[in-house]
Chain A
Amino acid sequence: MKLALKLAYKNLIRAGLKTWLNALALSFAFVLIIFYNGMIDGWNNEARQDAIAWEYGTGHLRNAAYDPMDPFTIQDGHGVLPEQYREHLTPILVWQGTLYPHGRMMPVLIKGIEPGQTTVKIPSGVLKNSTAGYPVLLGRKMAESAGLKEGDQVLLRWRDRNGTFDAVEVTVAGIFETNVPFVDGGQVWIALNTLRKMTGLTDEATFFIADENYTPTPVDGWTFVDQKMLLKPVTNLINAKKYGAAFMYLLLLAIGLLVIFDTQAFSIFRRQKEIGTHIAMGMTRGEVIRMFTVEGAMYSIFAIILGGIYGAPLFIYLAKNGISFPVSGDTMGIIIAPTIYSIYSTALIVKTFLLLVISATLVSLLATRKIAGMNPVEALKGKAL
């Protein structure tokens, strides 16, 4: 093996520009795989952090009748959690209503939140400090779609627990910026006690957001959904994006590998005399195959070195300064920060390295199989193929 490595290295280095052009083609795949996966990992990390910070905390303790995916459960999915279980929990009451901005009708979810809470990043303190009669908080996307700005008053209508319609002029006390569309679009945040009074749901909540000190305890009529479970849709979405992107970079990898296959197949045709000479000098066909296969595999090593030379500065820059997206993620309904900071983990680099080396070795082996059936006498004349 040592001899094969030595000869293969010499053959490639001495081939000069041809070697580096092949390596360059393969290096694009290497850099793109790391770039894309690094970006997805960065997005994944930020999306998870944002979802935890704005919406999930360390988990949700839900009323057993409430299913956030089923709006029909809102009507009955609430209740009173016994006092002894409320430690390290922030209550949220969810109710349906209708907003009438500029004469239009917008169905909304009214969410009651404690103005003093610090478990999630919803700036609920604004509700406490406002002097308006019915102060509400809106996310930027919601404010834009309703055409509302801070200080605007707008009619909000709802049914109380008995089904009786009621309405009030609410004042937009604050508009917050978030990357998490699930706390923004179609939602109106209001002080919890105000909503409880509006609906007659005294001391009730739909779910509770747990902080980091919360220890899950079974409570009758309530279900704890941990952070991992809550993040599953985010993880699934990102994985789906990852697999979709894999198609693109595997295509690029295939092109790079095709270049190696072509080069090796052509090389064997062109270097038949050399192969014959090696056999005449005492190499077995297997040893010649090994040398040519190592040559092919070595292209991937050179590609990694080359990719490292131009890719590393790019990766360092992207990890430090991030990559900005012109279109905000909230318009797509996914959690995406305006700037994504790529994460290049050791595992990602090692996995990509192995993918490249193994695939290049296999492709090269495929191309060099012909040597196994080569007649050395014909090879010496250059007529074996």
Chain B
Amino acid sequence: MNKKIIEIEDLVKRYPMGEAEFTALKRINLTFEKGEFAGFVGPSGSGKTTILNIIGSLDTPTEGRVSVEGEDVSHLSEKASARLRKEHIGFIFQSFNLLPVYTVFENVELSLLLLKQSAAARKKAVTQALEWVGLQDMARKKPPQLSGGESQRVAIARAIVKRPNIVLADEPTANLDAENAHIIMRTMQRLNEELKTTFIFATHDEKVMQYLKRKIHLLDGYVDKDEILESNTVES
């Protein structure tokens, strides 16, 4: 059995909505093991992004406990949660969130700069990450010169360059066409297999779902179904 990397116990998240409160997550209990390729699926407003943000310590639970890499994110100081993200978590966003004034190389390098790695180590790691996503020839280009698919591959390289244990991907294919969506998913699938990185998605895209080995169906803040699909592999 693999090591438990994320443990979620009785997670509740409420947001104020005017005078009242909106409950986005209702008593969620889940665990994730190292190397999983899992995803939260469900319609808009079901709580997919919220739970991803809490796991990524960008948001905090209202009730319950979420432990990531043994650290309870609900009680972390800002500095400690920043350190957790910096060292252990990579993010991939729907709109790529690349820094437009930096080159592809510099965008990917940024995570390593935050980790204060040496220039030589950074260069080696960035080159390797760009090779993983097949963009080694685009290192000097800037995001506005890239297509949507290429931009998302840069975002993947940026997320994995520091070899995090967890990568959280929020609707990573939403802005991509079908072909690019498959390229992106296959890239992440390969990285999951080669690097044993845990990938957790938030998606309602069928193209993503067919790659997942575990689908957690969310509906109105509840876990509706937790499916293990070990045989779910898509051939290129």
Residues of A that sit less than 8 Å from B by CB: 3, 6-7, 10-11, 14-15, 273-274, 276-277, 279-287, 376-377, 380
Q: Given A273-B95, A377-B53, check contact A282 B85 (CB 8 Å).
A: yes
B111 touches A280 (CB 8 A): no
* CA distance in complex: A277, B111 (Å): 11
Q: Given A3-B114, A279-B58, A377-B59, check contact A14 B101 (CB 8 Å).
A: yes
B87 touches A376 (CB 8 A): no
B82 touches A3 (CB 8 A): no
- In the complex formed, the residue of B with least CB distance to A276 is B97
Instruction: Kindly identify which residue among B58, B59, B82, B158 contacts A284, using a CB–CB cutoff of 8 Å.
Output: B82
B87 touches A282 (CB 8 A): yes
A280 touches B91 (CB 8 A): yes
Contacts of A280 in B (CB 8 A): 56, 58, 85, 91, 93, 97
Distance of B39 from chain A, by nearest CB (Å): 19
Instruction: Kindly identify which residue among B99, B114, B116 contacts A283, using a CB–CB cutoff of 8 Å.
Output: B114
A-B contact pairs, 7 of them (CB 8 A): A10-B102, A273-B97, A277-B97, A279-B85, A280-B56, A286-B78, A376-B59
Q: Which of B73-98 contact A (CB under 8 A)?
A: 78-79, 82-83, 85-87, 91, 93, 95, 97
Q: Given A10-B102, A380-B93, check contact A285 B111 (CB 8 Å).
A: no
- Does B110 sit at the interface, judged by CB under 8 A? yes
Contacts of A377 in B (CB 8 A): 53, 58-59
Q: Given A376-B58, A377-B58, A380-B93, check contact A282 B99 (CB 8 Å).
A: no
- Does B113 sit at the interface, judged by CB under 8 A? yes
Contacts of B102 in A (CB 8 A): 10, 14
Distance of A188 from chain B, by nearest CB (Å): 75
- Does B36 sit at the interface, judged by CB under 8 A? no
* CA distance in complex: A279, B114 (Å): 11
Contacts of B91 in A (CB 8 A): 277, 280-281
* CA distance in complex: A6, B87 (Å): 21
* CA distance in complex: A224, B185 (Å): 94
- In the complex formed, the residue of B with least CB distance to A280 is B91
* CA distance in complex: A380, B158 (Å): 16
B113 touches A6 (CB 8 A): yes
Contacts of A6 in B (CB 8 A): 113
Contacts of A273 in B (CB 8 A): 95, 97
A281 touches B99 (CB 8 A): no
Distance of B219 from chain A, by nearest CB (Å): 22
- In the complex formed, the residue of A with least CB distance to B90 is A281
What are the 5 A-B residue pairs with the smallest beta carbon separation, nearest first? A282-B86, A14-B101, A277-B97, A284-B82, A282-B85
Contacts of A380 in B (CB 8 A): 58, 93, 97
Contacts of A14 in B (CB 8 A): 101-102
* CA distance in complex: A337, B95 (Å): 67
Q: Given A273-B95, A376-B58, A380-B93, check contact A281 B101 (CB 8 Å).
A: no
12 further interface pairs, Cβ-Cβ under 8 Å (given A280-B58, A281-B158): A3-B114, A273-B95, A276-B97, A280-B56, A280-B85, A281-B110, A282-B82, A282-B87, A282-B111, A283-B114, A380-B58, A380-B97
Q: Is the interface of A mostly helix, strand, loop or mixed?
A: helix
A10 touches B78 (CB 8 A): no
B113 touches A3 (CB 8 A): yes
Interface centre among A276, A281, A287 (most CB of B within 10 A): A281
- Does B150 sit at the interface, judged by CB under 8 A? no
Contacts of B158 in A (CB 8 A): 281
Q: Which of B114-144 contact A (CB under 8 A)?
A: 114-116
Distance of A120 from chain B, by nearest CB (Å): 66
* CA distance in complex: A380, B115 (Å): 21
Instruction: Kindly identify which residue among B83, B93, B101 contacts A15, using a CB–CB cutoff of 8 Å.
Output: B101
Distance of A54 from chain B, by nearest CB (Å): 62
* CA distance in complex: A11, B116 (Å): 19
* CA distance in complex: A235, B78 (Å): 56
B97 touches A285 (CB 8 A): no
Interface centre among A6, A15, A276 (most CB of B within 10 A): A276
Q: Given A10-B101, A10-B106, check contact A285 B78 (CB 8 Å).
A: yes
Interface centre among A3, A279, A282, A287 (most CB of B within 10 A): A282
A281 touches B78 (CB 8 A): no
Contacts of A7 in B (CB 8 A): 113
Q: Given A3-B114, A10-B102, A377-B59, check contact A279 B97 (CB 8 Å).
A: no
* CA distance in complex: A280, B82 (Å): 8
B49-64 toward A: CB 8 Å interface, digit per residue (1/0)?
A: 0000100101100000
Contacts of A285 in B (CB 8 A): 78
B78 touches A284 (CB 8 A): yes
* CA distance in complex: A282, B57 (Å): 10
* CA distance in complex: A273, B100 (Å): 11
Contacts of B56 in A (CB 8 A): 280
Distance of B47 from chain A, by nearest CB (Å): 13
* CA distance in complex: A284, B85 (Å): 10
A281 touches B86 (CB 8 A): yes
* CA distance in complex: A11, B99 (Å): 10
A282 touches B59 (CB 8 A): no
Contacts of A283 in B (CB 8 A): 82, 86, 114
